[in-house]
């Protein structure tokens, strides 16, 4: 009896899941359209992030449920996948960068400024290096070199 009720509940809620997913994806799409025209307010950004998280959680749940089929058939680049990828690309991009008080919006300028920053960050500022020549140090003989490079036996191994 319980099994029959669960099947009935599942059938009635499947349509609701599809509708909810479509609603969430359309919300994400509308936020992205608005974001192309103007920057989102803090509330809008929170709502967009929440919608993306809900969509991501739902996708993860389906992946976990159908892991065997997914592995057999491979990853399909669905509309959902492309929307999430586009959303991540927009979130991870720099629209402007402040360099020495000047704001740069040109993508080539941003790229060059970032390259220059890291180039200067990892460049040596000191012009001198310590001298590696050490005076008045005795060297080992060739016999000592051979002795140091000899293979060790099992007895020495077990003693150690």
Here the tokens at position 96 are: 């402007």
Give φ, ψ of 98 to 5 degrees: -95, 120
CA distance 28 to 85: 12
What is the radius of gyration, based on Cα positions, of the chain?
A: 31
H or E stretch covering 103: strand 102-104
Residue 19 domain-assigned?
Answer: yes
Asked whether residue 135 is assigned to any structural domain, the reply reads no
- Quote the pTM value: 0.30
**Residue ranges making up the domain that contains 13:** 6-92
pLDDT in tens, 105-159: 888 888 888 898 889 888 887 777 777 777 777 888 999 999 889 887 888 778 8
What pLDDT, in 10s, does the model give residues 82-96? 788 888 887 877 888
Number of domains the chain contains = 1
The answer to whether position 146 is within a domain reads: no
- In angstroms, the CA 48 to CA 89 distance is 15
Q: 29-61: per-residue pLDDT in tens?
A: 887 888 888 887 888 888 888 888 877 777 777
Identify the three-state secondary structure at position 20. helix
């Amino acid at each position: 009896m319980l099994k029959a009720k669960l099947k009935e509940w599942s059938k009635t809620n499947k349509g609701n899941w599809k509708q909810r997913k479509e609603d969430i994806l359309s919300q994400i799409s509308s936020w992205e359209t608005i974001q192309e025209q103007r920057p989102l307010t803090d509330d809008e950004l929170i709502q967009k992030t929440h919608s993306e998280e809900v969509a991501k959680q739902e996708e993860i749940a389906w992946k976990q449920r159908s892991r065997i089929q997914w592995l057999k058939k491979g990853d399909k680049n669905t509309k959902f996948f492309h929307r999430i990828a586009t959303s991540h690309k927009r979130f991870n991009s720099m629209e402007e960068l402040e360099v020495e008080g000047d704001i740069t919006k040109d993508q080539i300028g941003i790229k060059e400024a970032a390259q220059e920053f890291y180039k200067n960050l990892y460049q040596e500022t000191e012009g001198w290096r310590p001298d590696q020549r050490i005076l008045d140090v005795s060297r080992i003989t060739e016999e000592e070199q051979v002795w140091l490079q000899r293979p060790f036996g099992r007895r020495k191994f077990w003693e150690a």
